[in-house]
Amino acid sequence: MKEEAKSANRLLWLKRLTVIAAVGIWLLLLLSIFRSGGGFSAQAPKCIFTTMIVFGILTAIYKGIEHLEKKEIEDQPRNQETK
* Tens digits of residue pLDDT in 30-47: 999 999 988 999 999 999
**Those residues with Cβ within 8 angstroms of residue 65's Cβ, 6 or more apart along the chain or in another chain:** 11, 14, 15, 18
Q: What are the structural domain ranges in the chain?
A: 39-83
- Say yes or no to pLDDT of 83 above 60: no
Per-residue pLDDT at 72: 83
Band (1; pLDDT cuts 50, 70, 90):
low
What would the pLDDT profile of 36-78 be if each residue is shown by its tens digit?
A: 988 999 999 999 999 999 999 999 999 999 998 888 878 876 6
Per-residue pLDDT at 80: 61
Contact 7, 72 (CB under 8 A): yes
DSSP 36: T
Nearest to 58 by CA among 16, 9, 30, 10: 16
Percentage, residues of the chain above pLDDT 70: 90
Degrees (nearest 5) of the Cα angle 44, 47, 53? 140
Per-residue pLDDT at 24: 96
37-62 per-residue burial string, b: 16 or more CB within 10 A, e: under 16: eeeeeeeeebeeebeeebeeebeebb
